[in-house]
Amino acid sequence: MITFVDGPAPGQTLVVRRAKFFLRVTFDGSKWDCLNEYFDTAAAGETLYVYLLIEKPTAVHLKMTKRSQSGWYAMARYRFLPEQPADADIRENASWRIWCLAQEDLLAEWKRLMGAA
């Protein structure tokens, strides 16, 4: 279960299987979602926001009504990235990957804070 501490989605909770370092969160005017799987794409009309993982993720096993949906899900908290990238940098998957790879300073700082570096 992914939660957001600030930005446009405070208090929202999403149930996803992967907790990525950078997370693209979408809002279509009525529903929050995220693009956390490799081939997820933004739909026309969705607004995108970038959030940053703020703690080491854990996992929880959820037993769902539909057995096929039961399994391990990520648990993590995210904060809004204050300097949002341009929509063109995050809307298409190829440009999103390029943007993420260019964020070495944020990744290094996160590793330092988490005690991984």
Q: Greatest CA separation found in the chain? A: 42
Q: Which of 90, 108, 91, 107 is nearest to 99 (CA)?
A: 90
For the segment 35-89, what is each residue's pLDDT rounded down to a tens digit?
998 889 999 999 999 999 998 889 888 877 676 778 888 999 999 999 999 999 9
Contact residues for 55 (Cβ-Cβ < 8 A; gap 6+): 76, 77, 114
Structural domain containing residue 87: 2-114
The structural domain count of the chain equals: 1
- The dihedral sign for the CA sequence 12, 15, 20, 26: negative
Q: Is 10 exposed, middle or buried, given 0-12, 13-18 or 19+ CB atoms closer than 10 A?
A: exposed
Q: pTM of the prediction?
A: 0.87
pLDDT at position 41, please?
93
